[in-house]
Amino acid sequence: MSKAKDKKGRRRFLKVSGVGAGVLVGGLIVGCNPIRRTIFTRAEKTIPPYIGKTEPMLWFQITPDNKYILHSSKVEMGQGTFTGLAQIAAEELGVNVEDVEVVHAQTDTGNIDAFATGGSLSIAGLYNPLREMGAAMREMLQAKAAEKLGVPVGDVKMENGNAIGPNKSLTYGEVVIDVNDWKVPKRPSIKERKDFKYIGKDIPRVDLVEKVNGAPIFGIDAEMEGMVYASLLKPAAIDASIKNIDLNGADTMAGVEQVIIRDEYIAVVASSYIEATQARRMIRYEVEINKAWDTKTLEEHIKVGKGTKQVVQKEGKRIEDISESGKVVEIEFHSPIGAHAQMEPNGAVASVKDGKATVILSTQVVSITRDEVAKALGFSKKDVNIIPTFLGGGFGRRLHTPLAVHAALLSQEIGKPVKCFMDRKQEFQNDTFRPPTHHVMKAKVSQEGKILGLEHIFASGNVMFESALIPPFAHGFMEGFLRADIGSIRGGSIMYQKLANYHTAYYHNKLPFATSFWRSLGLLANTFAIESFIDELALSVNGDPVTMRLEMLDSSDSHQKRIMEVIKTVAQKAGYTNEVVNGRAMGLAASIDAGSPCAQVAEVSIENNQIMVHKVTCAFDCGFAINPDQVKAQVEGCINMGISAAMFEKMDIVNNELQPINYGAYRMAMMKHSPKEIDTILIEGMAEPGPVGEPPLGPIGAAIANAVRRITGQRITRMPLEIS
């Protein structure tokens, strides 16, 4: 069967059921705060359904030589999605998991994800649709096998890629030969969990061998016949324009074919990457700064009280209105601008020829990139094919990949395929950064040590607003309607809902440089502020941070009960104590993100004024784990990325330039900073798989700071964490 050519099979029959509405659905009654708050709550708790094609003919390709190829509309950026999809597909199709090959679906196959790969939603969203598609495919093969064998369908067993009849068997490959009239069943029967052979098991990653051997699987490895290299010059300064450009001999350097000057950039086209890059670096220009920015002016800009205010949560009274007597505690927290610093730089290889465009690149937004390229070229979408590759890291950095457009336009102009990649300085200065944050945490505590009220008032910049995920024409509407950026407020709500009084409000301001999605969005900074503060409250009443948290959670609520479970489990498994033993202390923190609660205990010491994280115990409830080993890999990765962001990373603005401009100066966690022990306990608090790739990033910053507090007596209120 040739996938995508068989148009007869193309109809949308498999409806996703049993999951709640997406974030953007419903609530179009503008201007009413409770409705906004309902949307914010939903955005925190609900797993949005998969938005994309769910026809088996678009996903499955079975070849006469018995290859089972799964064309995935979700991309593989390290999160292990391809392995999970192979497990689910093999399970329902009735083939060996190691025989399934997962590839990125090119857009011209028609298998298009209408959204993006992100939000930790790939497996959570595709679990049921892909099971149904796999089962449908198996039943279609079974029906055809029965026809070919001349026996009733019920007499054909489907096992390990074979259709086994009473007297004779056919391989799946033999079944598909010369079949053009596939009938897609309406209600395919999916397996029960007790019969699972692959789902829920520790299957090795399907991309393991390629990655260990350095196979050319990334966007930067792609080549096209006769291609040239382009290097783009853009002003490094923010809120500035360039003038008096002096090519300074760049256009006559060895290997340089031409220099193209456009409003947005100057492109140097050459016969190799190094020649294009070196020539581009020769170009001189003057910068005209519109408004002066530095780290300090930025901190005055992203500040509670500045920008648009929106209430996110409101229960009971504000602290000043609580009549019971008690002490008011207030602490402010800050987090810096964060860079993605993914290892593979952004870029694309594009060929525009004879009215058709082909672009090869690593991107998290395959269909959006196709639409952008089509629009820029003035082509119809069907004349643009995006070929997605493996991503050398995503983390939200590739939720907008405009170099596809630049490479395509240059190819159209030059008449040759063009490969266009950023160098590392450009990558650091043109990132779509994690916006900085400012938090005011406030509580009222009674004489007996009871929390009477808790408030989180915070400020940040764009994450979702103005992102490529929202069509440009809707930017203003989204912002005007929601007021609080759903990405920035991620993890910002107070989860301790047994409290009588709690309140969360958000101040939004725009920044003079691009900010957007960074793995877990606002979760890391918001949890740092909230969970550091809760810890301080526990210490101030001489209490136990475990019991204090449990007392503020409501076990009659299924959502909160799952949070209680991870906290209890992590405390017990880590042997949590408030005591400092041999210079080592423990710190505990918890969070819930997209319905997946996580609690961590960090075991920390201070050596030569440097914080050392020796061990992290993590209890994580992502529901049903499709591949427990790979869920643990994500937990370990989140812990190390969180250690990196919480302890080292910080972008500054110096004379309107984002700095630093390379690894090393942009400090990041290395081997020596990784905990030597990571103990992950998976809890299955729901029967369906939930988000995995981001929620474990929540607690780590606060867990480390809380441990340091026990050693030094000092409360660290800023990331990156430093001992003063």
Residues that bind other proteins (CB under 8 A): 77-80, 204-205, 207-218, 220-221, 223, 254, 272-274, 340-345, 390-395, 423-424, 629-630, 633, 636-641, 643-644, 662-664, 668-676, 678
Q: Output the smallest distance, CB 604 to other proteins, in A.
A: 16
Query: Shortest approach of other proteins to residue 390 CB, angstroms?
Result: 7
> φ and ψ at 635, to 5 degrees?
-60, -45
Shorter beta-carbon distance to other proteins: residue 77 or 451: 77
Q: Which residues pair with 208 in a beta bridge?
A: none
The CA-atom distances, in angstroms, between 602 and each of 133, 314, 542, 572, 711 are 42, 32, 20, 13, 13
Given the complex with other proteins, which of 340 and 508 has the nearer CB atom?
340
* CB closer to other proteins out of 154 and 664: 664
The amino acid that residue 571 corresponds to is: A
User: Nearer to other proteins by C-beta: 133 or 589?
Assistant: 589
Of 153 and 215, the one with the shorter C-beta distance to other proteins is 215
Minimum distance between the CB of residue 276 and other proteins, rounded to whole angstroms? 11
What is the C-alpha to C-alpha distance for residues 350 and 403, in angstroms, rounded to an integer? 10
Q: Which two tokens stand for residue 650?
A: 């910080």
Q: Is the CB of residue 673 less than 8 Å from the CB of residue 643?
A: yes
Q: Which residues contact 16 (CB under 8 A, 6 or more apart)?
A: 49, 50, 54, 125, 128, 129
Q: How far apart are CA 693 and CA 550, in angstroms?
A: 26
Q: Look up residue 192 and give its amino acid.
A: E
Rank residues 205 and 442 by Cβ distance to other proteins and give the closer one. 205
Tell me whether strands 266-270 and 228-233 are parallel, antiparallel or unpaired. Answer: antiparallel
Smallest separation, CB 239 to other proteins (Å): 27
Token pair belonging to 341:
């610093």
Q: Minimum CB separation from other proteins for residue 399, in Å?
A: 15
Spatial neighbors of 227 by CB under 8 A, at least 6 apart, are 349, 351, 416, 417, 418, 419
Q: Given the complex with other proteins, which of 229 and 465 has the nearer CB atom?
A: 229
Contacts of 623 (CB under 8 A, 6+ apart): 124, 595, 596, 684, 685, 686, 687, 688, 689, 690
Q: In the complex with other proteins, which residue's Cβ is closer, 616 or 708?
A: 616
Spatial neighbors of 387 by CB under 8 A, at least 6 apart, are 104, 106, 222, 358, 359, 360, 361
The nearer residue to other proteins, 78 or 129, going by C-beta atoms, is 78
Question: Within 13 A of 662's CA, how many CA atoms are on the CB side?
Answer: 4
Closest distance to other proteins from the beta carbon of 208 (Å):
6
